[in-house]
C-alpha cells in the first residue's frame, strides 16, 4: 500500500517538475509562475521614482513608497497560465533583489501599438515596441525591439543592429548579458546590441550603479512575460568575458613567466603565480622596451588592502612618470582614505579625477581597459567607464600645485609605476593605434 501511495504522489507531482518555469542549468527562476513573490511595484520615472529620489528618503519612507507602488501594481499585474500579465497600466514591476554581472533570459508577447521595455540596474531601457506601427516623429520603431533606446542619439546600442521581432501575437525571447555598464542583447537568437555601454539615464555623470534591480515596464498595451531566468557571474567569469571582447586584436606583452621584454626597474618586480608583482617596499617604473603614441591596453590587476601602484603613460624612461610622462593612471584601493579625488583609482594623477566605487573586493581580480588617443584618455574598470578626459584641457592649479611638464607628450613607454606595495598584474596586452 505504501508503495502504491508513493507512486500516486509521484504522478501528481510530476507535471510540476516539467513546469515552464524550470530554469536551465545554472540559472535561477525570478518568476515562479504562480504569484508576484520576489517582485514589488515601482512608480514610473518622473514621479519621484529615480533611485536617487528613493535614496533621499528614510528607510521608513522608502518602505511606505514601495508599499504604495506595490498596491497599485497588484491592480494591473496578474498571473495566468504561468505567464506574468500586465494590462498596460499602473506601476512597473521590480525585483526585490539587486544584481551586478549576469545573464538574463526572458520571453515576452505583446499587442499592436504596445510600447514597453526592461530596465537594467534600475536604468531604462531595453526597448520593446510594435515595429510595424507608423512612426511620424522618427523614434526608430522600424529598427525593431532590443535597442538601448535611452542612450544618446547615434551612440552605440541605441538602435538594434537588425530587425529581429517576431510577428505580433508570437513569443519573443531575449538573452541579455550585463557586465558592469556594458550590455549585449540577443533577440530571438539574433545579435541586436553588441557590447555597448548602457548610459545612466538618471545620473548621466556616472556609470550605471554597481548593482541594481530589473524593472518590467508598463506603457499602454498588454504585455505578457514568461520564463524569466537569471545567472549571476563570478568576478572571474565576468573578467573573462570582458577580456575576450576588449582584447580582440591586442598582443600580449607579458608571457606570464618572466620579465622578458620589460626594462627599467626590473630588479624591483617579480613574477608570482603568473602575475607581475611589485616587491614589498620596492618601486620604480617597469616599462616596455618599445614606445607607444596612441594605444589601447587591457589587463587584470589585484590589490592588497590600501595597495598603491599606477600605469606609466608615455613615460620618457626616467623620472617620476606622474609628472614627466603624459601622466600616471592611478592604481589604488578604492577604500583608501583621505585622498584628493585626483588620486583615486583610474585618475590621471593630480589632474583628472576618476569615478569611484567600481572595484571588486580586495583579493579579487579586476579587469581594466585603457585607451590613449592624442590628449584623451578613457579608463574602463570592470565594464564601467570611470574616466573620459582630455589632458589638453587641464589647466592649473594641479593637485598640490605640482606642475606636470610631461602631460603634452605624444609618445613614450608604457609601464607599471610601483609604490612599495605588492599589487599584481596579469594578462597584459596592448595594441598601437594608427592616427
CATH number at residue 60: 2.60.120.560
Q: What is the DSSP string of 175-209?
A: EEEEETTEEEEEETTEEEEEEEEPP-TT-TTS---
**Confidence class for position 15, pLDDT limits 50, 70, 90:** very low
* Domain tally, the chain: 2
Asked if residues 314 and 410 have their Cβ atoms less than 8 Å apart, the reply is: yes
- Residue 247 reports pLDDT greater than 60: yes
Tell me, yes or no, whether 341 lies in a domain.
yes
Residues 82 and 199 in one domain: yes
Residues 300 and 416 in one domain: yes
Residues 292 and 384 in one domain: yes
Cα dist. 111→38, 59, 69, 90, 180 in Å? Answer: 26, 38, 25, 17, 32
Residues 226 and 243 in one domain: no
Residues 317 and 186 in one domain: no
Distance from C-alpha of 345 to C-alpha of 29, rounded to nearest angstrom = 37
Q: Which residue has better confidence, 8 or 322?
A: 322
| Predicted confidence (pLDDT) per residue in 50-105, tens digit | 887 888 899 999 999 999 999 999 999 999 999 999 999 999 999 999 999 999 99
Cα dist. 264→44, 271, 276, 310 in Å? Answer: 57, 15, 14, 15
Over residues 303-324, the mean pLDDT reads 96
Alpha carbons within 13 angstroms on the beta-carbon side of residue 339 total 20
| Predicted confidence (pLDDT) per residue in 388-411, tens digit | 999 999 988 899 999 999 999 999
Q: What is the DSSP letter of 141?
A: G
The rounded Cα 262 to chain-centroid distance in angstroms is: 32
Tell me, yes or no, whether 6 lies in a domain.
no
Q: What is the pLDDT of residue 12?
A: 40
Over residues 128-149, the mean pLDDT reads 94
Distance from C-alpha of 133 to C-alpha of 113, rounded to nearest angstrom = 6
- Residue 47 reports pLDDT greater than 70: no
Last residue of a domain, one of 185, 202, 233: 233
**Confidence class for position 13, pLDDT limits 50, 70, 90:** very low
Residues 217 and 261 in one domain: no
Last residue of a domain, one of 204, 233, 262: 233
| Predicted confidence (pLDDT) per residue in 24-44, tens digit | 999 999 999 999 999 999 987
Over residues 373-387, the mean pLDDT reads 98
Over residues 329-358, the mean pLDDT reads 96
Tell me, yes or no, whether 279 lies in a domain.
yes
- Domain membership of residue 283 as a residue range: 239-432
**Confidence class for position 430, pLDDT limits 50, 70, 90:** very high
Distance from C-alpha of 52 to C-alpha of 39, rounded to nearest angstrom = 20
| Predicted confidence (pLDDT) per residue in 220-229, tens digit | 899 999 999 9
Residues 359 and 379 in one domain: yes
Over residues 240-259, the mean pLDDT reads 97
Positive or negative CA dihedral for 271, 276, 278, 284?
positive
**Confidence class for position 2, pLDDT limits 50, 70, 90:** very low
What is the pTM for the complete model shown?
Answer: 0.92
Number of helices (H) and strands (E), helices first, in the chain?
5, 26
- Residue 330 reports pLDDT greater than 70: yes
Residues 94 and 228 in one domain: yes
**Confidence class for position 435, pLDDT limits 50, 70, 90:** low
Q: Which residues of 2-11 are buried (b: 16+ CB within 10 A; e: fewer)?
A: eeeeeeeeee
Last residue of a domain, one of 190, 206, 233: 233
Q: What is the pLDDT of residue 7?
A: 42
Q: What is the pLDDT of residue 434?
A: 86
Q: What is the pLDDT of residue 45?
A: 62
Q: What proportion of the chain, given as a percentage, has pLDDT over 90?
A: 86
Over residues 284-307, the mean pLDDT reads 97
Q: What proportion of the chain, given as a percentage, has pLDDT over 70?
A: 94
Residues 135 and 151 in one domain: yes
Residues 215 and 274 in one domain: no
Tell me, yes or no, whether 124 lies in a domain.
yes
Asked if residues 158 and 152 have their Cβ atoms less than 8 Å apart, the reply is: yes
Distance from C-alpha of 333 to C-alpha of 304, rounded to nearest angstrom = 8
Task: Return the minimum-mean-pLDDT range out of 5-19, 151-165, 219-233, 251-265.
Answer: 5-19
| Predicted confidence (pLDDT) per residue in 409-427, tens digit | 999 999 999 999 999 999 9
- Mean pLDDT for the chain? 92
Tell me, yes or no, whether 7 lies in a domain.
no
Residues 294 and 409 in one domain: yes
Degrees to nearest 5, angle at CA 133 with 118 and 190: 50
Neighbours of 97 (CB within 10 A): 15
Strands 172-179 and 215-216: unpaired
Strands 424-432 and 275-278: antiparallel
Tell me, yes or no, whether 395 lies in a domain.
yes
Residues 224 and 243 in one domain: no
Amino acid at each position: 500500500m505504501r508503495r502504491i501511495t508513493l507512486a500516486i504522489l509521484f504522478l501528481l507531482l510530476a507535471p510540476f517538475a516539467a513546469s515552464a518555469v524550470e530554469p536551465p542549468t545554472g540559472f535561477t527562476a525570478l518568476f515562479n509562475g504562480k504569484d508576484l513573490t520576489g517582485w514589488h511595484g515601482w512608480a514610473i520615472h518622473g514621479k519621484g521614482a529615480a533611485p536617487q529620489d528613493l535614496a533621499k528618503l528614510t528607510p521608513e519612507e522608502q518602505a511606505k513608497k514601495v508599499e504604495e507602488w506595490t498596491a497599485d501594481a497588484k491592480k494591473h499585474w496578474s498571473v495566468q497560465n504561468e505567464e506574468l500579465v500586465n494590462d498596460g497600466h499602473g506601476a512597473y514591476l521590480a525585483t526585490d533583489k539587486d544584481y551586478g554581472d549576469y545573464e538574463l533570459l526572458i520571453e515576452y508577447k505583446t499587442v499592436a501599438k504596445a510600447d514597453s521595455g526592461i530596465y537594467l540596474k534600475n536604468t531604462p531601457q531595453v526597448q520593446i515596441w510594435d515595429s510595424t506601427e507608423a512612426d511620424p516623429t522618427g523614434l526608430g520603431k522600424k529598427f525593431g525591439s532590443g535597442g538601448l533606446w535611452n542612450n544618446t542619439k547615434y551612440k552605440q546600442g541605441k538602435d538594434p543592429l537588425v530587425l529581429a521581432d517576431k510577428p505580433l501575437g508570437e513569443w519573443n525571447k531575449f538573452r541579455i548579458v550585463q557586465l558592469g555598464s556594458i550590455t549585449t542583447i540577443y533577440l530571438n537568437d539574433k545579435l541586436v546590441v553588441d557590447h555597448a555601454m548602457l548610459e545612466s539615464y538618471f545620473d548621466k555623470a556616472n556609470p550605471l550603479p554597481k548593482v541594481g534591480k530589473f524593472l518590467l515596464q508598463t506603457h499602454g498595451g498588454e504585455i505578457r512575460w514568461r520564463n524569466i531566468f537569471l545567472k549571476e557571474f563570478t568576478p572571474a567569469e565576468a573578467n573573462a568575458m570582458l577580456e575576450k571582447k576588449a582584447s580582440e586584436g591586442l598582443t600580449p606583452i607579458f608571457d606570464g613567466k618572466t620579465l622578458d621584454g620589460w626594462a627599467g626597474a626590473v630588479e624591483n618586480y617579480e613574477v608570482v603565480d603568473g602575475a607581475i608583482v611589485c616587491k614589498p617596499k620596492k618601486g620604480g617604473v617597469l616599462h616596455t622596451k618599445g614606445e607607444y603614441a596612441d594605444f589601447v591596453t587591457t589587463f587584470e590587476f589585484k590589490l592588497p588592502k590600501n595597495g598603491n601602484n599606477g600605469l606609466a603613460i608615455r613615460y620618457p624612461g626616467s623620472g617620476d612618470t606622474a609628472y614627466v610622462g603624459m601622466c600616471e593612471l592611478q592604481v589604488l584601493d578604492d577604500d583608501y582614505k583621505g585622498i584628493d579625488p585626483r588620486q583615486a583609482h583610474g585618475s590621471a594623477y593630480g589632474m583628472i579625477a576618476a569615478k569611484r566605487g567600481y572595484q571588486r573586493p580586495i583579493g579579487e581580480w579586476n579587469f581594466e581597459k585603457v585607451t590613449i588617443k592624442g590628449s584623451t584618455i578613457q579608463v574602463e574598470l570592470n565594464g564601467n567607464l570611470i574616466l573620459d578626459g582630455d589632458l589638453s584641457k587641464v589647466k592649473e592649479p594641479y593637485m598640490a600645485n605640482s606642475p606636470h611638464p610631461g602631460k603634452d607628450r605624444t609618445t613614450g613607454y608604457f609601464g607599471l609605476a610601483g609604490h612599495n606595495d605588492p599589487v599584481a598584474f596579469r594578462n597584459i596586452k596592448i595594441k598601437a593605434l594608427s592616427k
